Structure 1
Amino acid sequence: MTRNIKFSILTAAIFSMAMQNAFAFEPGNKVECIAPSTPGGGWDFTCRSAGKVLSELGLVPRSVQTVNMPGASGAVGFSHVISKRQGEENLLVATSTAMASQMAQGKYPGGPDQVSWIGTLGSDYGIIAVSNDSKYQSLSELLEALKDDPNSVKFTGGSGVGGWDHLKVLMTARAAGVENIAKITWLASHGGGSAITQVIGGHVSAYSGDISEAGGFIKSGDLRVLAVLSPERLEGEYASVPTAKEQGVDVIGPNWRGFYMPGGISEEVKDYWTHAIDTLYTSEEWKEMMARNGLMPFHVSGEGFEIFVKKQIDDMRSLSKEIGLMK
């Protein structure tokens, strides 16, 4: 064990020197990470866990300081960054799919071009599920029912109307060719657990949420997953769950976690942090962190991340307009 720890430290030190030689930019002694939420939430986890591994790998000279800045589903933190922190080279900001959905609906004081997109560090994936005794045996059966009558299948999940869980249903239906998706019934619940209870009890037809949230009900056999909204089948205990894509519905629904930085930073700075996040993601330390906290593989970075986020925002904005949430 001691030998492995020494080897890991040595490897991190060598890599840190290589990074410093490869990039003109080096991070300063005070690296901050804004978590636009209260302590204990998903954004707080992203800052603290990634900061810990960045330090262990020698990608930052000292520990990363997490600053909690809750308010308006991340909009308070975003406003702070674009108004007061532009151009700062040692500031990371935790983000996720929730930010994209809120930005898509005009609830942020600006758009994606005002910040620099760095990369993702994993994801939880959306699912469409029914009770074990549901009449719907496959995703195609459920979607055919929606095509015949969009109001025939009642969905629920942990978010309100226009939230991420709701949008996943609309994305799936639209990708399958369902018309009049605004007529699909969405019943908001007080959290994912309450939503699942409604489905298991036969009060609602189907559940939309994240697979980790529903894990206990899936294992108990109370909930049957018709599709996971991942690019390919998940590994491990959920390997038998089919994706929507393999069933002919080209849609993915990752609840990803990652970072953006202030706008106005140089390409050298952006390149450094992009490579740092790439390195963190592939490290054994981060793989162990993901396994302990239920995160699943999902990584895009740099320009690819920016393109991905903008497309996701555009898709969510289109859906929100289609169901009457926006003009």
Structure 2
Amino acid sequence: MKLLNIASVLLLASVIAVPALAQDISRPECVAPAKPGGGFDLTCRIAQQGLEKQLKTPMEVTFMPGGIGAVAINLFNTTRTDDPNAIVAFSSGSLLNMAIGKYGQWGAKDVRFLATAGTDYGAVIVKADSPYKTLDDLMAVVEKDPGSVVVGAGGSVGSQDWMKAAILLKSKNVDPRKMRYVAFDGGGDAIAGLLGGSIKVYFGDIGEMVSHLGTGEMRILAVLSDKRLPAPFAEVPTAKELGYDAEWPIVRGYYMGKNVSDEAYNKWVEAFKAAYATDAWAKLVKDKGLLPMDLSGKEMDADMKKRVERMTGIAKDAGLIQ
């Protein structure tokens, strides 16, 4: 009897000793809704590396390209609505797609926004050997003939990346509908298109450029931020300082299925909050080319849904939706 009691006590102690987080999130997964190499990949890598100590279990990154997030949001509203182990990367572009109905019936109300990874900014990028040495060089050509320069990005007409190009052209009263725009399924494909020569200008994100800084393959003409960013982009001018009224901040973060339990959702929130408090997280975010933005849980969910509401209004003004 005593041996049984001792065994019971030891078993109970071992259960208590196992962190609740490790029990509840047994197979952590971050879904990047695009091919490898773009902003969604970057966002998932931040979670994968930044939550390593909090989750106690290696996080898997899976890629789910299709419709710039449409395939992923459909899956998490059909077969994986209550998956406690999976988070999905999103950006401000995803919010815009929700606002203008790019995801069909699925919108902001159909996900549980979880946490932010950081803030990114749009950027105007060319190949290193491009004849456009400055943003003025590029815009001088575009203002004369918008269709003479093939531009592209990881999104269709009306997407976040298209909007980056559109606001830059509109800053000089150029009709964005006249530009030659090529849509790719994610930043990785768009970068490949730029390097391969199928497009001449890539309207991407500054965070995507961190892993390419040492290659010498591309050059950043301008960043679409309100002021210059810290190193390693301190030498990159803003479009604004060059005389173009064009800014595009980008929130990067994660959502979960709308039917995920509060218990599972809160465990992820706890993991992110614990990570936010560490120097390692701050360094990781900086190294990935993002600026800090630490927001999680209900506050973050409400904030993102308000952003979608605002984007819906902007989209209506731009004629993207009725």
* TM-score, with structure 2 as normaliser: 0.65
In the alignment, which residue of structure 1 is the partner of 2:8? none
In the alignment, which residue of structure 1 is the partner of 2:89? 95
Number of aligned residue pairs: 290
Q: What amino acid is the match of 2:252?
A: R
Residue-by-residue CA offset, 1:53-112 (whole Å, 9 max, x unaligned): 43514xx4x526648473534334323333455566x44412122533543452354101
Q: What amino acid is the match of 1:194?
A: G
Deviation at 1:233, TM superposition (A): 2.0
Which one of the candidate residues 234, 238, 249 is aligned to 2:233? 238
Residue-by-residue CA offset, 1:230-271 (whole Å, 9 max, x unaligned): 3532222320212234456252243x5321123356888766
CA contact (8 A) 2:126 2:218 kept: yes
Deviation at 1:121, TM superposition (A): 1.2
Deviation at 1:283, TM superposition (A): 2.0
Say what the alpha-carbon RMSD is for the aligned residues: 4.6
Q: Structure 1 residues 272, 178: CA separation in 2 closer, same or farther (over 3 Å shift)?
A: farther
In the alignment, which residue of structure 2 is the partner of 1:56? 53
Which one of the candidate residues 219, 222, 241 is aligned to 1:227? 222
Q: Structure 1 residues 145, 323: CA separation in 2 closer, same or farther (over 3 Å shift)?
A: farther
In the alignment, which residue of structure 1 is the partner of 2:194? 195
Is 1:106 matched up with 2:69?
no
In the alignment, which residue of structure 1 is the partner of 2:70? 75
Report the Cα distance in structure 2 between the residues aligned to 1:105 and 1:142, rounded to whole angstroms.
32
In the alignment, which residue of structure 2 is the partner of 1:30? 24
CA contact (8 A) 2:95 2:308 kept: yes
Is 1:285 matched up with 2:284?
no
Q: Which runs of 5+ in 1 are unaligned?
A: 1-16, 21-25
Deviates most, 110-119 or 73-82: 73-82
Which one of the candidate residues 192, 201, 209 is aligned to 2:204? 209
Q: Structure 1 residues 238, 92: CA separation in 2 closer, same or farther (over 3 Å shift)?
A: same
Q: What amino acid is the match of 1:96?
A: F
In the alignment, which residue of structure 1 is the partner of 2:152? 157
CA contact (8 A) 1:167 1:319 kept: no
Deviation at 1:169, TM superposition (A): 0.6
Deviation at 1:29, TM superposition (A): 1.0
Deviation at 1:50, TM superposition (A): 2.3
In the alignment, which residue of structure 2 is the partner of 1:251? 247
Is 1:183 matched up with 2:178?
yes
CA contact (8 A) 1:95 1:260 kept: yes
Q: What secondary structure, in the 3-state scheme, does the structure 2 residue paired with 1:299 have?
A: coil
* TM-score, with structure 1 as normaliser: 0.64
CA contact (8 A) 1:158 1:195 kept: no
Deviation at 1:120, TM superposition (A): 1.7
In the alignment, which residue of structure 1 is the partner of 2:258? 263
Report the Cα distance in structure 2 between the residues aligned to 1:308 and 1:288, rounded to whole angstroms.
25
Deviates most, 233-242 or 222-231: 222-231
Q: Which runs of 5+ in 2 are unaligned?
A: 1-16
Report the Cα distance in structure 2 between the residues aligned to 1:305 and 1:249, rounded to whole angstroms.
30
The share of aligned pairs that are identical, in percent, is 21
Q: What secondary structure, in the 3-state scheme, does the structure 1 residue paired with 2:272 have?
A: helix
In the alignment, which residue of structure 2 is the partner of 1:167? 163
In the alignment, which residue of structure 2 is the partner of 1:297? 291
Q: What amino acid is the match of 1:114?
A: D
Deviation at 1:275, TM superposition (A): 5.3
In the alignment, which residue of structure 1 is the partner of 2:12? none
Q: Structure 1 residues 228, 275: CA separation in 2 closer, same or farther (over 3 Å shift)?
A: farther
Q: Structure 1 residues 109, 142: CA separation in 2 closer, same or farther (over 3 Å shift)?
A: same
In the alignment, which residue of structure 1 is the partner of 2:6? none
CA contact (8 A) 2:29 2:86 kept: yes
Q: What secondary structure, in the 3-state scheme, does the structure 2 residue paired with 1:82 have?
A: coil
Q: What secondary structure, in the 3-state scheme, does the structure 2 residue paired with 1:240 have?
A: coil
